[in-house]
């Protein structure tokens, strides 16, 4: 795999993009004069050497109206220089300019040249972290174009976040105008809560050309690295993570404000998977939600993310979907995750747990005081032993409210163990065991469960192979259970006669109003 060191991208010391900058060495631009005697190069020469095509537009964009000779370009200095033989008359309230002479130029601060400005410096720094990007000049030009576009509406793309404990960021007062520009690059900023913003994408990558997508990458980088008010990032599988993943990786590693991250890494280049995992591990300690889809993860990557979750107490929600983790990776992930006692939601889909991972999850359930939602879907290599280990953890659990097991291999012994454990559970409200090939034996076990459990409100058994006999057994249990609100038997092997008998049997003991409200729902007939 390809690795890289993500450098913390720092903006130059000036807070404004319209301030002049020094050379990359930090010294004035010098050249030899005569016999090697150094002399200071004029602004015009420096511009021609470093960024000739962009020098004039940069000066027009960022120096218009400025008259302070210590910060202005050559044109401003010429306007204020002293005419030989005529003494200058100081004007009240106006700072006197130095004479336009070689000595004066040496006496001025080192930031004497505009060259390609702060755009060029930012592009250079970005290239250090993302060397595979287009040329530095191209990045600098795009930054200037974006700045010009923002300036035309009275905004500045470079302006730092101004959010405080009591005041919102400046984006809040200019959100409509801000999004008018951002929408051209498929980005939208939304204020989800007062003073808290989310960044999402309007359309997919197939509807965006290369230039718009690249501009979106640059703006995304600026928003994530400069604005702590941006606390949510939602990227679907068709957005910039596919074309410029290196910019996304660097932005995630450098940001300090994100609390919620949801990213789909569909078709991301394999070489960037390790880099993206490294970026996740560098995210701020305040992150609360991590939802990662379609990012291929082996044991080493899973171990790193698990360790990050273990150390970040602010994490509340974990979703790993379709990451193709083998049993060894699932075990490594759970080893770290189960050390975080603050987790409230765990969703795993398309990822193996392994025997070790199931054992750790069961132990976590037995002691967790905060986990409310657990979903296991399309778990490869899921067997009876793993379900038994997880069910054992529910014996002493007093926090879980929702348990979903979908598209997993569930044996009669496994479902018997789960049903037996849940008989005395008083906190679980929603149980879903869908597409797990449950048949008549499982229906009998679940029927006994419903006779004893008075806490369950919703039971979803759709997409199984429960027949008429199993449906009648479940309906019989409802004569005793008066607390259940919904039983979903959709897409099972129930005939039209069986569905009718089931409803009739239920209504003998329950009011017709309750039945009509969807108490026994989804009993679709087998064709």
% pLDDT > 70, the chain: 71
**135 Cβ contact list (under 8 Å, min separation 6):** none
Instruction: Give the pLDDT score at 30.
Output: 41
For the domain with range 428-527, which CATH number is right: 3.90.440.10, 3.30.360.10, 3.40.50.2020, 3.80.10.10?
3.80.10.10
Give whichever of 38-42, 187-191, 454-458 has the largest mean pLDDT. 454-458
Mean of the pLDDT values across residues 235-245?
Answer: 66
CA angle 350, 354, 355 (to 5 degrees): 145
The position carrying tokens 């400046």 is 170
Instruction: Give the pLDDT score at 340.
Output: 97
428-527 matches 297-409 in CATH topology: yes
The pTM for the full model equals 0.74
What backbone torsions phi and psi does residue 462 show, to the nearest 5 degrees? -70, 160
Contact 364, 339 (CB under 8 A): no
Is 3.80.10.10 the CATH classification of the domain at 297-409?
yes
Instruction: Give the pLDDT score at 236.
Output: 74
Domain coordinates of the chain in residue numbers? 160-289, 297-409, 428-527
Is the pLDDT assigned to residue 402 strictly greater than 90?
Answer: yes
Beta-bridged to residue 508, according to DSSP, are none
What backbone torsions phi and psi does residue 113 show, to the nearest 5 degrees? -130, 145
- Each residue's pLDDT tens digit, 315-329: 999 999 999 999 999
Instruction: Give the pLDDT score at 22.
Output: 39
d(CA 506, CA 472): 9
Contact 397, 372 (CB under 8 A): no
The position carrying tokens 């747990």 is 353
Contact 473, 501 (CB under 8 A): no
Is the pLDDT assigned to residue 57 strictly greater than 90?
Answer: no
- What's the first-to-final CA gap in the chain, in angstroms? 51
- Which range, of 35-44, 261-270, 305-314, 379-388, averages the lowest pLDDT? 35-44
């Amino acid at each position: 795999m390809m690795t890289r060191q993500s450098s913390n991208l720092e903006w130059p010391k000036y807070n404004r993009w319209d301030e002049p900058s020094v050379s990359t060495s930090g010294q004035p631009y010098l050249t030899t004069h005569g016999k090697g005697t150094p002399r200071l190069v004029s602004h015009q020469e420096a511009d021609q050497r470093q960024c000739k095509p962009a020098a004039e537009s940069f000066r027009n964009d960022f120096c218009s109206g400025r008259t302070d000779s210590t910060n202005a370009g050559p044109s401003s200095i010429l306007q204020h220089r002293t005419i030989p033989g005529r003494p200058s008359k100081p004007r009240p309230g106006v700072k006197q300019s130095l004479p336009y002479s070689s000595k004066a130029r040496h006496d001025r601060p080192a930031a004497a040249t505009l060259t390609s400005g702060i755009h060029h410096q930012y592009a250079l720094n970005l290239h250090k972290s993302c060397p595979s990007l287009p040329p530095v000049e191209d990045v600098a030009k795009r930054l200037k174009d974006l700045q010009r576009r923002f300036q035309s509406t009275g905004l500045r793309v470079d302006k730092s976040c101004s959010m405080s404990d009591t005041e919102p960021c400046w984006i809040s007062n200019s959100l409509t105008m801000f999004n008018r520009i951002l929408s051209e690059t498929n980005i939208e900023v939304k204020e989800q809560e007062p003073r808290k913003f989310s960044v999402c994408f309007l359309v997919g990558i197939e509807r965006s050309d290369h230039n718009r997508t690249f501009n979106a990458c640059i703006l995304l980088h600026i928003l994530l690295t400069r604005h702590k008010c941006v606390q949510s990032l939602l990227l679907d599988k068709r957005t910039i993570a596919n074309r410029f993943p290196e910019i996304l990786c660097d932005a995630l590693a450098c940001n300090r404000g994100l609390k919620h991250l949801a990213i789909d890494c569909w078709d991301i280049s394999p070489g960037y998977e390790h880099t993206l995992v490294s970026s996740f591990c560098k995210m701020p300690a305040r992150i609360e939600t991590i939802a990662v889809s379609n990012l291929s993860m082996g044991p080493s990557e899973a171990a790193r993310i698990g360790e990050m979750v273990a150390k970040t107490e602010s994490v509340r929600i974990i979703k790993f979907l379709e990451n193709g983790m083998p049993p060894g990776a699932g075990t490594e992930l759970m080893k770290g995750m189960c050390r975080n006692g603050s987790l409230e939601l765990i969703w795993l889909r398309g990822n193996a747990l392994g025997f070790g991972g199931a054992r750790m999850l069961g132990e976590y359930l037995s002691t967790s005081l905060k986990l409310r939602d657990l979903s296991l879907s399309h778990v490869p290599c899921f067997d009876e032993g793993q379900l038994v280990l997880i069910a054992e953890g529910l014996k002493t659990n007093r926090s879980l409210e929702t348990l979903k097991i979908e598209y997993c291999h569930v044996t009669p012994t496994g479902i018997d163990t789960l049903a037996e454990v849940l008989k005395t559970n008083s906190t679980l409200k929603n149980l879903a065991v869908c597409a797990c090939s449950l048949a008549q034996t499982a229906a009998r076990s679940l029927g006994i469960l419903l006779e004893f459990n008075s806490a369950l409100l919703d039971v979803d058994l759709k997409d199984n192979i429960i027949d008429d006999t199993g449906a009648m057994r479940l309906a019989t249990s409802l004569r005793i259970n008066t607390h259940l609100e919904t039983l979903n038997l959709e897409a099972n092997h129930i005939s039209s006669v069986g569905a009718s008998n089931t409803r009739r049997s239920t209504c003998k003991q329950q009011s017709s109003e309750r039945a009509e409200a969807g108490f026994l729902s989804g009993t679709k007939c087998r064709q």
